[in-house]
Structure 1
Amino acid sequence: MNPGTPADHESTRTPSTHSPRPGRLGVGIIGAGRVGAVLGSALRSVDHQIIGVHAVSASSRERAELLLPGVPILDVEDIVERAELVLLAVPDDALADLVQGLAELGRWQPGQLVVHTSGAYGVGVLEPARRCGAIPLAIHPAMTFGGFSTDVARLIGCPMAVTAPAAVLPIGQALAVELGGEPFVLPEESRPAYHAALAHGANHLVTLVGQAVRILAAAGVEDGAATLAPLLSIALDRALREGEAGLTGPVARGDAGTVRTHLAALTELRDANGRPLDDVVDTYLTLARATVARREATGALGAQQVRALREVLSDHGEDSAGQPPEQII
């Protein structure tokens, strides 16, 4: 099995019209979610043949039709029987049972490439397939997917974590390049922490921004997203370029009085349904405490400033009787 020579990064990712290059594979996709259909489209654009896709929900079938027009929707066992490369783009919690179930049915084939896209797992989860003679690969693009054709272009230059047995690692790297990405080797044992970093940064960023928009809405600002866009764009850019040196704001300066004012205002706010923004207050407290700890560790704040900030954050964490929440039964 040979995935062929890595394709050159192209400015577009449209299917080619010339004769297929040597070493092209018949690819089967299990899971036409936001990731599977996009990666299938990228592989198709460099002449790999998508022999079938497994899609259960109506949205998955629509996505397959949009991104993989003309590709038949097949049962899982039919895909594994026909494909030289099986791309498993299923939820993390479903991956192990799927691989094990197909192994018990004797469906995995010797020499068949089996690639999953989970960030948290390495190739250990593919061990049942490996014991059947399949070649296990784990390739994870460090990218968020919407399930649209525009995602294919975003793969160009995208970092992709590749985990594989040493003998077949070049195959995984070549596939990542053909997807348009920039592969880097990630050890098996590093996958959970790697994925936690990405999820913490990207997923919780969405939660954080959503909370900021809700605060502005409760404060009477109509278009919170537009108000935040310039500030958050610059803040993210500085965070990535400068790290903690790019931090600004009242906690960074040691302005305990401003932090106290923030907490009082957030506590009083109500959403459109009259509900308090309790989750927002909790997040503010948690992140402010973490920021104080980092400023103290780096020497950016003096002992008196740290003490004043922690006093404000501690005072707000107490209930009306003066007990810290963790002491309440």
Structure 2
Amino acid sequence: MSAPSRPRPAAPSGAAAPPGGAVTGAPTSPPRVLTVGVVGAGRVGAVLGAALAAAGHRVVAASGGSGASAARLALLLPEARNGPAAEVARAAADLLLIAVPDDALAGVVAGLAEAGALRPGQVVAHTSGAHGLGVLAPAVAVGARPLALHPAMTFTGTPDDLDRLAGISYGVTAPAELRPLAARLVVDFGGVPEWVGETDRPLYHAALAHGANHLVTLVNEAADRLRDAGVTQPEKVLAPLLRAALENALRLGDDALTGPVSRGDAGTVRRHLERLAATAPESVPPYLALARRAADRAIAAGRLRPADAVALLDVLGGTYREVSRA
């Protein structure tokens, strides 16, 4: 069985030319077909490895110790041998892709360097959104070339993810001489590079986590409160509303804001808070935080006049403390 295949996209116009002008002083270009190893056969690593295989690269080895990782490798990378991380790194002649949790990344890189598993000229890339090139310093110290390559997508670790890769953005941080290779890899994944500065990686990742991860929490909070209100299938109520809100927000920005906060309806918001405090007090703080931020943005965007916001801001900034303790 071979890795799932998909049409290979055309290179986006100007993908290999990052902002700031042409790249100079680049080393000898790596071969068109790369020999690749994947450290971390989680949802991201296994899928990106399969995408590289589908683009024609040789994914020769991958590491995945858990049963779930072994199953993913059997499904997505059946021709790659499963072994310890150091063996995978040694087998990856051209590109080592490290896809491990953010907090584990530094230790994995340091361990591979200390074990002598990395070599000069080898490209060592990680998929963490939170880290840039600094975490790869131990690899650079032994002559490897660093690359940070983060897909802005959520993964299930199944073949369905391969179709979702088409057209997504990748937050890329790379030294100048590696930017053409980074752009080429993103094209092979089917995506578009977004060049992110080293010091901006935490902000980039915070934005994605705030938008995607907190969205999941927010949706489930809304579903729970609908159940509390007696709605038996909250997903059917929320689905069309949330889809429209998301599409409008992406298209219109703050002009998409509707509801009692954007209208300055202080009485409605106070009733919300009173009922939430009685039914689900744990929902009061996030409601308040988001309502206050929505009010600030509505005022700044001219959607809500400051004069109409006085009573609302009083509820959000003062009276609510009594509500939350009720």
Q: How many Å separate the matches in 2 of 1:284 and 1:151?
A: 33
Q: Map 1:55-134 onto structure 2 (within 5 A).
A: 55-84=64-93, 85-134=95-144
Q: Which amino acid aligns with 2:296?
A: A
Question: 1:220 is matched with which residue: 217, 222, 230?
Answer: 230
Report the residue type matching 1:9 in the other structure. P
Match of 1:9 in 2: 9
What's the counterpart of residue 214 of structure 2?
204
* Aligned match of 1:272: none
Is 1:45–2:45 an aligned residue pair?
A: no
Q: Which residue of 2 aligns with 1:14?
A: none
Task: Evaluate the alpha carbon distance shift between residue 42 and residue 261 of structure 1 in structure 2; reply closer, same or farther with a 3 A threshold.
Answer: same
213 and 188 in structure 1: CA distance in 2 versus 1, 3 angstrom threshold: same
| Structure 1 pair 27–320 and aligned structure 2 pair: CA distance change class (3 A) | closer
8 Å CA contact 2:254–2:301 kept in 1: the answer is no
- Residue of structure 2 equivalent to 1:13: none
Q: Is the 8 A contact 1:32 1:55 kept in 2?
A: yes
> Does structure 2 conserve the Cα–Cα contact (< 8 Å) formed by 1:163 and 1:185?
yes
Does residue 301 in structure 1 map to residue 309 in structure 2?
no
2:132–2:173 contact (8 Å) kept in structure 1: yes
Identity %, equivalent residues = 50
| Residue equivalent to 2:256 | 246
Q: CA deviation at 1:46?
A: 1.2
Q: Secondary structure at the match of 2:212?
A: helix
8 Å Cα contact 1:252/1:295 also seen in 2 = yes
Q: Residue 281 of structure 2 contacts residue 324 of structure 2 at CA under 8 Å; is this kept in 1? A: no
Q: Letter of the 1:315 partner, please give it.
A: T
Q: Deviations over 1:38-90 (max 9, x none)?
A: 00110010111111111022111111212112322111111111112111000
1:16 aligns with none
The whole-number CA distance in structure 2 between the counterparts of 1:267 and 1:316 is 10
1:293-320 CA-to-partner distances (Å, cap 9, x unmatched) read 2222333323332210022222122378
Asked whether 1:180 is paired with 2:161, we answer no
Distance 2:325 2:170 in 1: 52
The answer on whether the counterparts of 2:126 and 2:147 sit within 8 Å (CA) in structure 1 is yes
**Aligned-partner Cα distance in 2 for 1:125–1:28:** 19
Q: Which residue of 1 aligns with 2:285?
A: 282
Give the conservation status (yes or no) of the 8 Å contact 1:40–1:68: yes
Note if contact 1:256-1:305 (Cα within 8 Å) is conserved in structure 2: no
Q: Does the CA-based 8 Å contact 2:35-2:60 persist in structure 1?
A: yes
Instruction: Find 1:146's aligned residue among 120, 144, 156.
Output: 156
**Residues 149 and 8 of structure 1, relative CA distance in 2, 3 Å threshold:** closer
Question: What do you get for the CA RMSD once the two structures are aligned?
Answer: 1.7
Q: Choose 162-171 or 277-286, whichever is displaced more.
A: 277-286
Q: TM-score normalized by structure 2?
A: 0.87
Aligned residue in 2 for 1:162 = 172
> Structure 2: how far apart are the matches of 1:317 and 1:147?
44
- Distance (Å, rounded) in 1 between the aligned partners of 2:34 and 2:65: 24
Unpaired runs of 5+ residues, structure 2, are 1-6, 11-30
Q: Determine the structure 2 residue equivalent to 1:317.
A: 321
Measure, in 2, the Cα distance between the counterparts of 1:137 and 1:302. Answer: 47
Correspondence 1:35 to 2:39: no
Native 8 Å contact 2:255 2:301 kept in 1: no
The Cα offsets for residues 17-42 of structure 1, whole Å up to 9 and x where unpaired, read as xxxxx621111111111100000110
Which residue of structure 2 aligns with residue 325 of structure 1? none
User: Matches of 1:320 and 1:206 in 2, distance apart?
Assistant: 24
Equivalent AA in structure 2 for residue 172 of structure 1: A
* Structure 1 residues not aligned, in runs of 5+: 1-6, 11-21, 270-276, 323-329
1:23 aligns with 2:26: no
Matched AA of 1:106: G
